[in-house]
Amino acid sequence: MGIFYNQQERVFRLDTPGSTYLINIVDEEGFLCHAYYGRRIPDDNMAYLLRLNPVGGPFKTSGQQASFLDQLPVEYSGHGLGDFRESCLRVETEEGYRSCGLTYLSHRIYGGKPALPGLPATFGGEGDCTTLELRCHDRYLDLEVCLLYTAFEKLDVICRSARIENRGEKPVTLTAALSACLDMDNRDFDLITLHGSWAYERMINRRPVAWGKQGVSSLRGISSHHEQPFLALAEHAATQDQGQVYAMHLVYSGNFLAQVEMTQQELLRAVIGIHPQDFAWKLDPGGSFQTPEAVLAYSHTGLDGMTHALHDLYRNHLIRGPWRDKPRPSLVNNWEATYFNFDTEKLLDIARTAAGRGVEMLVLDDGWFGCRDTDTNSLGDWFVNEKKLPGGLKYLADEINKLGMKFGLWVEPEMVCPDSELYRAHPDYALQIPGRPPMLSRTQLVLDFSRQEVRDCVYSQLHKVLSSANIEYIKWDMNRALTDVSSLCLDADRQGELFHRYVLGVYDLQERLLRDFPNLLLENCCSGGGRFDPGMLYYSPQIWTSDNTDAIDRLRIQEGTALIYPLSTMGAHVAACPSHTNGRVTPFDTRGLVSLPGCFGYELDLTKLTEEELDMIPGQLENYRKYGPVFHDGDYYRLASYGGNGEYDALMAVTKDKRTAVIDYVHVMSRRRRRSVLLPLRGLDGETRYRSSETGEVRSGAGWMYGGLLLPEMKGDFTGKLIVLEAV
C-alpha cells in the first residue's frame, strides 16, 4: 500500500488494501490524466485505457487540440480550451478572460497527511497514510495548483483537495474551485444520493445514470436537509454485499455541488466541491485558496464495503477529542417536555426522575437566556434569564450534579433576533444588503460570521456562560438558511467570498470552543439534520439526526444516515407520544429499540410517564451501556429496509473481533404470512459458533449467514426485538 511514481511509464500509483488509482502524465505538454480506479491490480502500464489512438479516442494532432481535450480523462478539469464538461477550475482575469488549463510541473510523495488551514479534514500519521502533492500550472496565467491525494494504509479511501496559488503579478478571480474530479467509462452505473426535507432527511435515492448532468447541490449556506454532499456510482447489479461502488463525499458544511455527467461518448465525469454559483474568490498576487477535502471510497463488495470504509475513516481519522472513543452519556432533553414553559423546579423534577432510573445527563434546551419565552426574541443575548432560573446556571448545574448527573445546554450562536440587546447595539452585525429590507426566517437574522469582531462578540458571551457553571455538553443549533448574503465589511469585488467565509467563521468559532473547553461534548444541530456533514464531525462527534423524533419515520432517516455515517454520530432519542411530529402512537419499548443504535437519550417529560414505562428505562439504559459499543465501534450491516419492503426493518452490528453481533429488528406493519421471515445475516466468522439470545440455539457463523435467522413472530404494529448472538 502507498503511493509510488513510475518514472519510465510516467504514472503515479496510489494503492489501498483493495483498490488502485493510476494517474498518467501524457503528451509533451504534460496533461495529467486519470487512467484507472478500481480493484487492486499490480500493473502500472494501463495507459491504453486512455485510448490515445486515432480510433475511438482523443487522438491529438496539430489541428485537433480542442477535440483532444473534450474526450481526455483528466485529474482536474480546466475551462474554455475545449473540455466542455464540468470545470473544476474557472478563472477570470482583470481583463475579463476566462480560459485556463493545467499541465504537470512537479510532485512530492511523503508519509502522513497535512492539515488544511482553517478547514476540517481527515488526519493520519506516517504509519496510517501516504500523501502525493502533484503540482501543475497554467503557465499563461502564472497560476499553480497543488493537487493533494492521500491514500490510507488500511482503508479503501483516497482523500483529495486542491490548493490554488497566484504566482503572477496581477489579481485573478476564481469563479469555480471544486475539490475533485473523477473521469471514467460508464459501466451501467446507478447514481445513489441522499435527498429529503426538514424532518425527512437523507432518504436513499437510486436511479440509472442518464445522459447529461444529474446530481445534488445546496445554495442555502448549509449542506441542507434537502441534499447531502455525497454521491455514489454503483454498478446496476450491485447489492449490499456484491458489486463495484465508487463514492464521493465532501468534508464541508456550506454550499456544494455533487454531480455526475454522461457525455455523448458515454464518458462519465463526477465532480464534487463548493458550488460555483454565488462563489467568486479574488486571489491577489501571492495569494492562495484551499478547497475543502473530498473523500473517495471504492468497494468491490457492494454498499457494505463503501459503508465500512467511510465509517472507519470518520471514526478513526476525522472525529477528534476525548469523546471520540468514550461511551456517550445517556441524556434527557427538556424540549418536547416543556418547550419554553419551565423553571428551575420543573427541570429538577425531570432530573430527579431521570437520575432515579439511571439517566446520566440533563440538557436544558431553548429558553434559558435573555427574555426568551417564545422564538421571536433574544437570540444573541447569551446571558441567563434569572427570572426563570434563580441562581443562574450554576445553581441548576450544581443541583443536577448532586443527583449524580451531568448538565448540558442548548445554544444558537449564529443567529440574532431584531428584538434583542445585541441587534439594538449592533444592527450591522447581521447579514444584510444596504437599501433592501432583510428577509426574516423564524423571526431571526444571520450574524455575519465572516467578521472577526462578530465572532469575538458572540464567543465572549459563550465563554462567560460556559465558565459560570459545570456545563459538560453543548447542543449547537442553527435554524435557518442564509439570505441577504452581503457583508458590510467586504469590498464589492469580494462579496462572492462571503458564503465560504461564513463557513470558515463557523469552523473557527467551534475550534476555539473546543480549544478552551477540551472536555466539552459538542453536538451539532441545524434545525435537526440540516448540517449533518463530515465537516461538522471534525468538531462534534455526534449530530442531532433530525427534528423528527417519531420512531417509525426515524427508521428511514437513520437508514440513510447510516449508509455513510457511523451509528455513533447519530443523536437518537425516545420521544414523546403521541409524536409531536406526526401524532403517531408507538410503544415505549419500540421507541427505545429504534433509538438504541445511536447516541441514546430521552426527549419527553419523564414525570408524566406511567410506572410501566418508567420501569422500562433501566433496561433500555442497560442495553445501551452493554450494546452501544457494539453499534458504535463495530461493523454495520443493513439487513432489511422498511423503506423498501414496507413491513419490517432490521440492522446488525458486529464487533471487530466478530465475537458479538446485535440485530435490531422492528416489525412495523402486520401482514398475514404463511411462513415466517428468514433473514440472512452478514459479517460473522463462518467457523465460530454463536448462541442466539432469542432461542438459545447454537449455530456456526456460516449457518446464521447462509441459512439465515428466523425472525420471531410479532403481534400488532410497531413492535420489535433485540437479538444478540454471542460466540461460544
The CATH code for residues 331-411+441-631 is 3.20.20.70
Helices 392-402, 344-357: inter-axial angle, 10-degree rounding: 20
Please tell me the CATH code under which domain 2-317 is placed: 2.70.98.60
Which is catalytic among the residues 15, 477, 533, 664?
Answer: 477
pLDDT at site 69 = 84
| Residues with pLDDT less than 70, the chain | 53-63, 673-674
Q: What is the secondary structure of 156-217 as a DSSP string?
A: SEEEEEEEEEE-SSS-EEEEEEEEEEEEEE--SEEEEEEE--TTS--EEEEEE--SEEEEEE
Distance CA(530)–CA(479), nearest Å, equals: 8
> Rounded CA gap, 480 and 484, in Å?
12
Question: How do the domains of the chain map onto residue ranges?
Answer: 2-317, 331-411+441-631, 639-727
Please report the pLDDT score of residue 57 as a whole number.
57
The pLDDT value recorded for residue 70 is 87
At 59 the pLDDT is: 58
pLDDT at 75: 97
Residue 672: per-residue pLDDT: 72
Position 710 scores a pLDDT of: 93
DSSP state of 706: I
477 is catalytic: yes
* DSSP reduced 3-state for 68: helix
pTM over 0.85, yes/no: yes
Q: Say if residues 465 and 490 touch (Cβ distance below 8 Å).
A: no
DSSP one-letter string for 358-416: T--EEEE-S-SBTT-SSTTS-TT--SB-TTTSTTHHHHHHHHHHHTT-EEEEEE-TTEE
Superfamily of domain 639-727: Golgi alpha-mannosidase II (2.60.40.1180)
Q: Give the pLDDT score at 58.
A: 59
Choosing from 83, 547, 633, 635, which is the catalytic residue?
547
